Amino acid sequence: MEPKVAVAGIDVSKENLDLFVIPLGVSQRFVNDESGCNQLVKVLAELAPSRVIFESTGGLEMLAAGIASAASLPVVIVNPRQIRDFAKACGLLAKTDKLDAKVIALFGQKIEPDIRPLKDEPAQELSALISRRRQLVEMLTAEKNRLSAAPKSVRDGIIRHIEWLEEQIRSYDDDISRFIQSSPMWKAKGEILTSVKGIGPVTAATLLAALPELGSVTRQQISALVGLCPYNRDSGRVKGKRSIWGGRAAVRCVLYMAALAAVRFNPTIKVFYDRLRNAGKVHKVAITATMRKLLVILNAMLRDNQPWSDSHAFA
């Protein structure tokens, strides 16, 4: 009988990294700082696991995952929803840091998620700039909503805050633009993406940072990664409505706004959208299909290293 391949699961918190390795039973805790991450990587290098599974925790995992990836370890970062659903399916309801690490390792052993390269440091920096800009836009929207119903005693303060937020957003737009212009590769890709009517600088930057696979995978794969691939909901004789699920929400958000703009200003995309509406599709279904169509076109453009042309409508 062949020996079972080791899989490492790492539960990440702000202070600690909890390691559990299946089937070796190795359990160890490290401090979540550079020194602790280097100690973790040293242990992992000796154990040589087939996968090192991290649960995505809003960026707390990136230091350890980055150092492990740089050491050529097979790092995988998994959506926490998948881990929770897996634990429930296995009846593993108790929760401690050590148990969470064991569940993560068990998930990696049973599911064998694909190993994908992590974002490099520039991509992470661009993601941080875009994420902060998105937070500011959300705050700006909230303040504008408050202003409409605010009493006179607080209106001046809200207006000043709105003006400050608008200035900050413009500053981040400039930072994002400079960041992309500083990289010849990103600059070239950004110019290809923005050659499509409906794709602006922020959308292009988000795609470059949050969807590095764009241009290197098939149309089906890119749709699934973003969460624009409709799934069946059929059971017996019942034919349910297909719906999208999962994927990268930040990319979907910018694609939604891009699709709305493209429907107005891009004749090719407008024809596609109008054909769906004329066939009886409701707006939500038609605009989702338009988002997917736009994504597939962008994927083909980067794959072929070609700016927009009407021939890409058949991508």
Regarding predicted confidence, which is higher, 148 or 279?
279
N-to-C CA span, the chain? 48
Specify the CATH architecture of the domain 7-111. 2-Layer Sandwich (3.30)
Token digits of residue 245: 């699920």
Mean pLDDT in residue range 5-19: 93
Strand-pairing partners, residue 30, are 17
| CA distances for 293 relative to 161, 214, 299, 313, angstroms | 39, 14, 10, 8
CA-based torsion, 121, 124, 130, 136: positive or negative: negative
23, pLDDT greater than 50: yes
Q: What is the pLDDT of residues 188-199, one digit of tens each?
A: 999 999 999 999
125, pLDDT greater than 90: no
256, pLDDT greater than 90: yes
Q: What is the pLDDT of residues 270-314, one digit of tens each?
A: 999 999 999 999 999 999 999 999 999 999 999 999 999 866 666
Sorting pLDDT into bands at 50, 70 and 90, what band is 92?
confident
pLDDT at 250: 87
Cα–Cα distance measured from residue 241 to residue 239, given in angstroms and rounded to the nearest whole number: 7
143, pLDDT greater than 80: yes
Cα–Cα distance measured from residue 170 to residue 187, given in angstroms and rounded to the nearest whole number: 20
pTM for the structure as a whole: 0.73
pLDDT at 96: 85
Count other C-beta atoms under 10 Å from residue 14's C-beta. Answer: 8
Mean pLDDT, all residues of the chain: 89
How far, in whole angstroms, is CA 108 from its chain's centroid?
Answer: 20
235, pLDDT greater than 70: no
pLDDT at 262: 94
Count other C-beta atoms under 10 Å from residue 303's C-beta. Answer: 16
Sorting pLDDT into bands at 50, 70 and 90, what band is 254?
very high
